[in-house]
Structure 1
Amino acid sequence: MAFGVSTDIGIDLGTASILVYIKGKGVVLKEPSVVAYDRNTNEIKAIGEEARMMIGRTPGNIVAIRPLKQGVIADYTITEKMIRYFIQKAIGKRTFRKPRICVCVPSQITEVERKAVEDATFNAGAREVYLVEEPLAAAIGAGIDITKPCGNMIVDIGGGTTDVAVISLAGTVVSESIKVAGDDFNEAIVRYMRKKHNLLIGERTGEEIKIKIGTCYPRQEELAIDVRGRNLVTGLPKTVTITSEETLEALSESANQIVEAVHMVLEKTPPELAADISDRGIVLTGGGALLTGLEQLLEERLGITTMTAEEPTTCVAVGTGKYMEVMNSIRD
């Protein structure tokens, strides 16, 4: 292999985590999109998993933040440094040519937000930058042949946004992006604990509850978990037992908003493609798709078979990495 060959990289620039896909190697890196920096000196202390461990546990001058909010860049400078760090970590510093980078973005992103992602990626060391819409990337990553003239419906539930799209002939026919996703599930549990049990818990504990016993459809067997937090009345630490039945109550509102978004897209879908979707079903991707009961909820409400992709969390990253190959094959 000749020296100087550049690498093709796909980056799933998510609100909750960043995944890097390298052609020929697969997903080589998956880390939380969190940066810890010193407010006084503006010096970055940690990036990724190390910074995530610091959330809610840092002294006043050090803040752990997520520079991406709801799928778009909220803090430009820190995002650029974070992308550069992850690229170097994924490919190592011994590259002779800058890589070609494909980055996925939410489907309803504005021109200004697109430009911010492009600029940050160029400044982080890219030779060429391509942007791909999340549902398209998710469909490719889920193993769907998007080049055929038939309708496929993808619901990509990430950390900050849920993208719903109908795809045919390698393009998006109808799409909708809502700012309700995995993070909102966590927040809903935090709010529920405060309101119902007078217990103050952190975002990380909320996420833990969601993963272990969270559901948006009645479970066959009920699960329970002990949750530690601060009692809002006495101000002292307290432990409360919460059941999966309670998480159903906490998560129902956010889950219903996702169902509504899917319903809205189906209403706008051309009849021929709607018939295809009825036959082929709806495909769920993204980390939020792992929430128990989401498949059953969509099936019950919409009457369409719903399935979760094999590796929902890595679908978008894999699809972003393979996007250029798919587009080249269409041109050929």
Structure 2
Amino acid sequence: MGPLNHLSHGIGIDLGTANTLIFLSDQGIVLREPSVVALDQTSRSLLAIGSEAEAMMRRNPASIDVNRPLSDGVIVGFDTARLMLKHFIQQVQKGQTLLYPRVIISSPVGSTSIEKRALSEVAAQAGAREVYLIDEPVAAAIGADLPVEEPIGNMVVDIGGGTTEIAVVSYMGTVVTESLRVAGNKFDDIICRHVKKNHDLLIGERTAESVKMKIGTVYPHPEHDEAELEISGLRLLSGLPGSVVLQGSEIREALSESLNRIVSAIKKVLEKIPPELAADLIDRGIVITGGGAKLKGLDALISYETGLVVHVPSDPLSCVALGTGKVLENFKTLERVLQKRL
């Protein structure tokens, strides 16, 4: 039976601010690329997409426009988002545009109807015949193997590049949700500003991300606090290249305000849930997904602040994409978690 006639066949897409992941129902995750596009400023023709475009960021001449078509989890550049998604879909389908006509694409729970329409239209213009949206934390819960189809409380905190999505999921629906536009890219920006203010050094977002991943920590721990990393950038006063050694403890202090906002949002969700689901969470705890789940000490911080056990899946960055894929492969069973858009 060909793919067009097989109900389970389709594409699952985690279209994120920082990265795009694509799941093919018969192959698993087949693409992980930065959500970055490089265009010629004059002709607006496509020069590079993904990791090739990301390598140009802050190194590109004025004639080349390098940008992210998504910000805070939503589309801000419709045409570039369409070009990027169409390119990625054709790449994984070897140029056969309509090989997989059904597309499930993740969406932040805080998205407006206009933002959701933009997502579905981008997918449609990239070649989809059927477009379904799925709330990011629901996809993350399914990807983390939580029993969302049962009447049991499952709490997910998905920290991506643009948004932090918090939800309690039960019986294929969200009971309580919260969405913050504070996440991985915000952390990078905070690190850039911290280094500029405290060390008189200008650094780019890729350097900041490296700092975050290598010595970034959010909960006191001697080993993490004392970790050091030497970074290079431009001296603020002289404009000449320079370097500085950063410590984990100063990164923890710099990130504390944003992490407190995430913790407050988690507590807000916990305060709103019914007592029966609260009892489930005492037994089951909280699952953290997304790239932000890799921040050192994040599980300890959330556990300390909530009193609940916190779990981090082995591959937290892939949970949303895996969740879209599991819905594709169990479409009849899990169709209720989707919003039909086309």
- 2:248 aligns with 244
8 Å CA contact 2:158, 2:165 repeated in 1: yes
Q: CA deviation at 1:38?
A: 1.3
Q: Distance in 1 between matches of 2:181 and 2:264?
A: 13
- 1:104 aligns with 106
Normalising by structure 2, report the TM-score.
0.94
Q: CA deviation at 1:201?
A: 0.6
Q: Distance in 1 between matches of 2:59 and 2:284?
A: 47
8 Å CA contact 2:37, 2:84 repeated in 1: yes
Three-state SS of the structure 2 residue aligned to 1:109 is: coil
Q: Which piece of structure 1 moves more, 166-175 or 272-281?
A: 272-281
The size of the alignment, in residue pairs, is: 332
Q: Is 2:315 the partner of 1:306?
A: no
- 1:154 aligns with 156
- 1:13 aligns with 15
8 Å CA contact 1:158, 1:182 repeated in 2: yes
Q: Is 2:324 the partner of 1:320?
A: yes
Aligned residues with identical type, % of pairs: 48
Three-state SS of the structure 1 residue aligned to 2:208 is: helix
Question: Among 37, 58, 67, which residue is 1:56 paired with?
Answer: 58
Amino acid at match of 2:222: Q
- 2:340 aligns with none
- 1:214 aligns with 216
Listed one character per residue, the Cα deviations across residues 148-182 of structure 1 (whole Å, up to 9, x for unaligned) are 11101000000000000000001000000000000
8 Å CA contact 1:226, 1:239 repeated in 2: yes
Question: Among 24, 28, 31, which residue is 1:29 paired with?
Answer: 31
Q: Distance in 2 between matches of 1:2 and 1:72?
A: 34
Q: Distance in 2 between matches of 1:289 and 1:204?
A: 18
Three-state SS of the structure 2 residue aligned to 1:313 is: helix
Query: Which runs of 5 or more structure 1 residues have no equivalent in the other structure?
Result: none
8 Å CA contact 1:4, 1:95 repeated in 2: no
Q: Which piece of structure 1 moves more, 272-281 or 168-177?
A: 272-281
- 1:294 aligns with 298
Listed one character per residue, the Cα deviations across residues 216-245 of structure 1 (whole Å, up to 9, x for unaligned) are 112331211111111112221111011111
Question: Among 273, 286, 299, which residue is 1:282 paired with?
Answer: 286
Change (3 A) 1:95 1:14: closer
Q: Distance in 2 between matches of 1:45 and 1:317?
A: 27
Amino acid at match of 1:160: G
Change (3 A) 1:96 1:66: closer
Change (3 A) 1:52 1:99: same
Listed one character per residue, the Cα deviations across residues 93-140 of structure 1 (whole Å, up to 9, x for unaligned) are 246645210000001111111111111110100011000000110001
Question: Among 234, 238, 249, which residue is 1:234 paired with?
Answer: 238
Question: Among 262, 267, 271, which residue is 2:266 paired with?
Answer: 262
Change (3 A) 1:96 1:153: closer
Normalising by structure 1, report the TM-score.
0.97
8 Å CA contact 1:5, 1:96 repeated in 2: no
Q: Distance in 1 between matches of 2:166 and 2:96?
A: 39
Q: CA deviation at 1:24?
A: 2.1
